[in-house]
Amino acid sequence: MRLFADDALIYRPIHTSEDHIIFRNDLLTLGRWMGYRVGHAVQSFQMLHSVNDKRCGKSLHFYTLCGQVLQSVTNNPYLGATLTNKLSLSTHVRKICAKGSRTLGFLNRNLKKNCLQKLRELAYTSMCRSVLEYASPVWDPYLQRDIDNLERIQRKGARFVLRDFRQRSSVSSMLRYLKWEPLAERRTKARLIIVFNIKSRNCDSH
């Protein structure tokens, strides 16, 4: 079980029917620890799982916590990252691209034309790019469409910072002028830093 602030994650590999029984007992222990007086909080718990033992049949297995059946979902957010039962990254990328696009639209509507370029750039990097890069070493995508979707937000960000929305303007030139690295390169560097810190025992890898 993992605890962080008000987030809780309980998990166990499921391969056989015996694994299901063990996990149900884990949930029973968790329920006793929580106490039935806080049973209303169970509504926020969801079950993200897939059954690997085809002999069992997915419909035969359900889990309860404090007497309430846990809702089965295909994806669920945890610590800012969207986890899926197929370990796909695309769902998370779509969500943060949508959030980044909304944030960029908010900045574009509220920062007037006479706002200094440096302030627009600071607003983009702190409020929009931070969304696109949060915990990126964990979910760094490998599909080109996901990579392109993230870069598309940054390209819109460059137009916003330079206030150049002309169709014929070269966004690549804008990125070079701003000296912005592609987000994919920034994610690669972030992953290397994490690996170095783990290797150097500067952070906990568990």
Write out the chain's pLDDT in tens, 206 residues. 777 776 777 777 878 888 888 888 888 887 777 765 444 445 455 666 543 333 333 445 677 877 777 777 788 888 888 888 788 889 999 999 999 999 999 999 999 878 999 999 999 999 999 999 999 999 999 999 999 999 999 999 999 999 999 999 999 999 999 999 999 999 999 999 999 988 887 776 55
Among 67, 79, 89, CA closest to 4 = 79
Has residue 206 been placed in a domain?
Answer: no
- 82 touches 46 (CB < 8 A): no
Has residue 205 been placed in a domain?
Answer: no
Q: How far is CA 29 from the centre of its chain?
A: 29
Whole-structure pTM value: 0.76
69 shares a domain with 8: yes
What's residue 37's pLDDT? 46
What's residue 61's pLDDT? 66
Domain boundary residue, one of 22, 53, 73 = 73
Specify the number of domains making up the chain.
2
Has residue 129 been placed in a domain?
Answer: yes
178 shares a domain with 90: yes
Q: Over the range 95-108, which residues count as b (16 or more CB within 10 Å of their CB) and which as e?
A: ebbeebbebbeebb
Among 162, 92, 159, 160, CA closest to 131 = 92
Domain boundary residue, one of 23, 53, 73 = 73
d(CA 48, CA 75): 6
Among 56, 46, 54, 50, CA closest to 21 = 56
- 78 touches 48 (CB < 8 A): no
68 shares a domain with 108: no
Q: In angstroms, how far is the first alpha carbon of the chain from the final one?
A: 12
What's residue 60's pLDDT? 53
What's residue 59's pLDDT? 42
Amino acid at 122: L
Domain, as residue range, for 180 = 84-199
What's residue 80's pLDDT? 82
102 shares a domain with 66: no
C-alpha distances out from residue 154 to 123, 125, 128, 186, 199, Å: 13, 10, 9, 12, 31
Domain boundary residue, one of 20, 50, 73 = 73
